[in-house]
Amino acid sequence: IKFENVYFSYDEGEDEKGSFALSGVSLSVEEGEFVAVLGHNGSGKSTLLKILLGLYAPLEGVVKVNEKPLETVSNEFAAVFQDFTIFPFTVLQNITVSAESSKEEENRAWEVLERLELRECIGGLPDGIHTALRWNGSSERAKLSGGEEQKLALARALFAQRGAYILDEPSAALDSKSEIALYDFFRKLTGQKTVIFVSHRLFSCLKCDKIFVMDHGKLVQEGTHEQLVEVEGKYREMWQSQIQDFVEEGG
């Protein structure tokens, strides 16, 4: 994955300093890397991922996947966002995003649930994987906990079997320790697949192959935790400010 001098603005008519959500961003992610994108609110993290997913087009610059322009590539990414949705359909339909599934697809869905440690939970529902889920307060359907819904959203992404996974703060509601456990768990699940995730918490990034630090729409630092924490910059500033919070949470 390559970004080459990418610019983007939500107000296309402006070009004054500071109006760009992304400003001259260039970066690369190799196949199989586990990568974090960090920065404060408004730094451009989510915008970067949404451009990668083709939801927005750059005003300037090029995004390439396997040396091909992004717009010519399809079905490479599976994504989970912070505001993911669980639909009022069956568990199986939520995973496959299909009205009907073959027995082979159902078996594969069960395998994904097993990997996410959800098999026992879903197996205990009235109709198992065919149980309809509740939405908008309906009492006639099963209701999962917030953590179970989160894993179901991850199951949907894993079932899709894409080359890369994009995670835009799906763990924002978790505490630091739970978030670290989630990303460690997801890395084991995806094996050698490429994973790019957004987080505010640097403790989730200690084992990343690469970290990109965003600030006001610009890529200001790049490296591993060990490299970045040793030099003056935004990363070390964020790291030092979060240590005390993590300790107070019992980390």
CB-based burial label for 170 (10 Å; 0-12, 13-18, 19+)? buried
- pLDDT given at position 72: 93
Confidence of residue 84 (pLDDT cuts 50, 70, 90): confident
Beta-ladder partners of 6: 25
What mean pLDDT do residues 43-64 have? 95
- Tell me how many degrees the CA angle 136-165-204 measures, rounded to the nearest 5: 90
Task: Report the percentage of the chain scoring pLDDT > 70.
Answer: 88
- In percent, the amount of the chain with pLDDT more than 90 equals 60
pLDDT in tens, 147-184: 888 889 999 999 999 999 999 987 666 666 777 777 88
Which has the higher per-residue pLDDT, 173 or 139?
Answer: 173
pLDDT digits (tens, 9 = 90+) for 190-222: 888 999 999 877 888 888 999 999 999 999 999
Mean pLDDT across the chain: 88
Contact call for residues 214 and 220 (beta carbons, < 8 A) = yes
Tell whether the model's pLDDT for residue 238 goes beyond 70: yes
Mean pLDDT of 215-232: 96
- Residue 72 CA to residue 143 CA, distance in Å, equals 40
Please tell me the predicted confidence (pLDDT) of residue 17.
45
CB 216 within 8 A of CB 44: yes
Can you tell me the distance from the alpha carbon of 213 to that of 24, in angstroms, rounded to the nearest whole number?
A: 14
Mean pLDDT of 65-76: 92
